[in-house]
Structure 1
Amino acid sequence: MTEGLTQAAEQGLKRPTAAQLEAIAKDLAAPSIPQQAKGPTAAEPAAKEPQVAAAITSLERAASALRELVHSALTPASVRAALEADPVAAREHVEDLEAELERVAKRLAAARRAIASASEEAAV
């Protein structure tokens, strides 16, 4: 972890980026003795787990970001404040948000179909 913090500080960041942490993790997971690199090991199945965890984390972050950003922006007080500041811009931004939400709804529907399909295949 200190290596990641050191790299981040060198770049003027407070925390290391995901790419930096991933590179450090790969370095740590790499065999330190060249002979260890030969042949399959028990660690190979574990190599897939970070990818799976990253995919699940991505979905979790999307839901969290939606709750944090969209819900708070659409509270009655926030909408009133935006309308008072600039009614035309507020209307345009709400329309843009609605269009994005429609796109998200389509992607969500596709994700649900994929999950249902995978569930059916797993049951067979």
Structure 2
Amino acid sequence: MKKLNMDSWREMFYEKIEEVKPQDHWDLKMDQNLDYNDLGPGWKQSLQEHSFASFQCSRCQHFWSSVQVVILFHMYLDQHRRKGWVKMRVFRQECYECSEGVTGCLLTAPARPGTHAHSHSLSHTRAHCSYTCR
């Protein structure tokens, strides 16, 4: 099972963002410290609440899939420099096979790049950026 790969997310993101914001340069990065509604001045937020992904517990190796994956995006566009940033956080899920309180589960690739689920998450961000990051 392929673990979440930021290169594949970036590749799809750059393709999609180019369709709606070709004049701007965007950067996408994973940030597991993002908090909901904790935004700097000028930043916008988008929350994808029902994405599909698969998980594998780093402790017991239990594997499961879920349609309740939450992905948080924070976006900022500097109009003068034509430069945008997107920070992304994929929330982990707790393994029910392990003892209570274990949260060391690792996300595997949320669908393969190019599939509907992967494209939908990035399209949601792209659409949000194109309308709110002006």
> TM-score range, shorter-chain basis?
under 0.3
Query: Scaled by the length of structure 2, what TM-score is found?
Result: 0.22
Query: Scaled by the length of structure 1, what TM-score is found?
Result: 0.24
Q: Specify which structure has the higher proportion of helix.
A: 1
Q: Specify which structure has the higher proportion of strand.
A: 2
Q: Higher relative contact order at CA 8 Å, sep ≥6: structure 1 or structure 2?
A: 2
